[in-house]
Structure 1
Amino acid sequence: MISDLALIMALPNESKGLFEQAGIDVHYSGIGKVNAAFKAFEVIQKTGCKTLLNLGSAGSSHFDAHSLVEVMTFVQRDMDVSPLGFQVGVTPMDHDYPAEIALDVHFGHLAQGICGTGDSFEIGLPKVPCNLVDMEGYALAKVCKKLDVRLISVKYITDGANDTAHLEWEENLLLGAQKLLALYQKHFV
């Protein structure tokens, strides 16, 4: 059990109220990197947590739908300044923080992946190497890195990040919330 932990998810849709019903505090960031960065900073400042736990949904054409995947690395799939000679995924002039942010693995029994974060609902192949996609994780990782807070991130694969992803995402959220809650209760309560 981690006593100085705060839980962050993007949307109430991802918890389906199950965490609140179980008496677990959830901080919701909203969608996208800007919202995630702001909320992560706010939560860390307000709670003084040393570990931020991010649970949520992701798409993947690599991992099976309905599986839980622990993120071992976050990258930005929509940072593209390649016309100026920078590699896709690299933020120009940001020397202190790498394009890839590695996390310490917490769950040895889960599949591990590289998550590409971007401010778009991905339905194709990202421009950067990754095997799952989300819309908040890289921002959470960067804020945690800057503030010396550990980030643990587990994603429930809702869809194949393809042309039917928007339909599959919504219909798979309840099962995802149930699986994420079971993981939380087993390891953090």
Structure 2
Amino acid sequence: MSDFALIMALPNESKGLFEAEGIEVHYSGIGKVNAAFKAFEIIQKTGCKTLINLGSAGSSYFDAHSLVEVSEFVQRDMDVSPLGFEVGVTPMDDEYPAGIQLESFFEYLPKGICGTGDSFETGLPKVPCNLVDMEGYAIAKVCKKLGVRFVSVKYITDGANDTAHLDWEENLLLGARKLLSLYQTVKI
């Protein structure tokens, strides 16, 4: 059993730097379903007490190239508003109907609310959040349900705007370097 396990969405986000340092990275693939399945699998396989998610995010609020620790995850694509529910609220989910709060791990990093959705966001989300990703909420929910601490830090690659797809790819290597440096401060 290990105290910590590391999950990232794609090898593009680590650029092989973590593996070069002998750090095991579990890759989930893109989207909430893939992320939930992989998080469950990692927790079952490793018995970790803390699952750390490092990756990229877009934000029109935080500066590009900054690291932001997520303090809460919301679902930016959960929309059952035609049935009278607020956007972001999962109907009949008494335990976690909307946001999932996380404890602070890196006290010195700025904190943000991350909107997770199965789309590459290039505009303003329908739910209040100041950064966006495609996996975090699902991982957070699995961790909460299984009693595993979840820590998530995002490198801001783009402004979640019409050039986001170009900026994301261009900034991944610098992001991988910053995330690796941060991860190496974790006492494992």
Paired AA for residue 129 in structure 1:
P
Runs of at least 5 residues in structure 1 that lack an aligned partner in the other structure:
none
Cα distance in 1 for partners of 2:75, 2:131 equals: 12
What does residue 146 of structure 1 align with? Answer: 145
Matches within 5 A, 1:19-168: 19-168=18-167
- Cα deviation, 1:70-129, whole Å, max 9, x if unaligned, reads 000000000000000000000111112231000000111101000000000000000000
Query: Match of 1:108, as an amino acid?
Result: E
Q: Secondary structure at the match of 2:115?
A: strand
SS in 2 for 1:36: helix
Q: How many angstroms apart in 2 are the aligned matches of 1:145 and 1:95?
A: 13
Q: Name stretches of at least 5 consecutive residues in structure 2 with no aligned partner.
A: none
TM-score, normalization: structure 1? 0.98
Mapped partners of 2:109, 2:56: distance in 1: 15
Q: Secondary structure at the match of 2:186?
A: helix
Is 1:179 aligned to 2:181, yes or no? no
In structure 2, distance between residues paired with 1:130 and 1:115: 6
Aligned partners of 1:185 and 1:46: how far apart in 2? 23
Tell me by how many angstroms 1:161 deviates: 0.1
Q: Secondary structure at the match of 1:186?
A: coil
SS at the partner of 2:124?
coil
1:186 deviates by 1.8
Q: Percent identity over the alignment?
A: 82
User: 1:63 and 1:20 mapped to 2: Cα distance?
Assistant: 28
Tell me, yes or no, if the aligned pair for 2:9 and 2:27 is still in contact at 8 Å.
yes
Q: CA deviation at 1:187?
A: 2.3
Count of aligned residue pairs for this structure pair:
187
Contact persistence 2:81–2:87 (CA under 8 A)? yes
Letter in 1 for 2:33: V
CA distance in 2, matches of 1:84, 1:126: 20
Q: What secondary structure sits across from 2:185 in the alignment?
A: helix
* CA displacement 1:142-188 (0-9 Å, x = unmatched): 00000000000000000000000000000000000000000011223
Name the TM-score, length of structure 2 as normaliser. Answer: 0.98
Q: Distance in 2 between matches of 1:70 and 1:96?
A: 23
Q: Is the 8 A contact 2:91 2:97 kept in 1?
A: no
